[in-house]
Amino acid sequence: MNSLAGSQPDPYFDDLYRDLILDHYRLPRNNRVLDAPDADLTQFNPVCGDEIRLTARIRNGAIEEIAFVGQGCSISQSSASMMTEAMRGRSIEDAHALAHNFRAMILGEDVDEMAMGDLMSLQGTSRYPTRVKCAVLAWDTLQKALGGASGREDVGSSDPDSAG
Ligand code: ZN
């Protein structure tokens, strides 16, 4: 049973999820800059003042190591922390797929809750349009960084996704 006397819980984040977000905000995972990264990209969310610098090492088409440093609101920083945990060891293709699903979740679409795991804690962000950019900043940074990093092996395929 929850007793929330005296507090005004945010209706769209339940307590478990709120705790998880704050835990990642206060103790961010993989919070450093990697040496000699294959991908190194910094992006900003000027609306909120969030900043994320992402570094990653890519081996055999997969994310061997990934880390971030940054500053900003709890949503942006906890999202980045959870992302680094979720992404390590994934293939580039798989990483893009997860980023796609995360973005869909934040935009309010139904997603596979089992597959999302702890990332579900950020689903409540979908109720706050102004916070969507906070939540997706790290993921957007990762996708852009991977786009530049996947060429370490000679890939001859042309990417149809040439959005700018
Ligand atoms: Zn923010």
Torsion of Cα atoms, 27 then 28 then 30 then 35, to 10°: -100
pLDDT digits (tens, 9 = 90+) for 107-135: 999 999 999 999 999 999 999 999 999 99
* ∠ CA 68-116-161, rounded to 5°: 70
pLDDT digits (tens, 9 = 90+) for 21-73: 999 999 999 999 999 999 999 999 999 999 999 999 999 999 999 999 999 99
pTM of the predicted model over 0.75: yes
Give the pLDDT band (50/70/90) at residue 11: low
Answer yes or no: is 162 within a domain. Answer: no
Q: How far is the CA of 160 from the centre of ligand 1 (A)?
A: 31
Answer yes or no: is 125 within a domain. Answer: yes
Q: How far is the CA of 140 from the centre of ligand 1 (A)?
A: 14
Q: How far is the CA of 90 from the centre of ligand 1 (A)?
A: 26
Could you list the residue range(s) of the whole structural domain that residue 143 is in? Answer: 15-150
Q: How far is the CA of 150 from the centre of ligand 1 (A)?
A: 28
What CATH number does the domain containing 97 carry?
A: 3.90.1010.10
Q: How far is the CA of 73 from the centre of ligand 1 (A)?
A: 4
Answer yes or no: is 164 within a domain. Answer: no
Domain count, the chain: 1
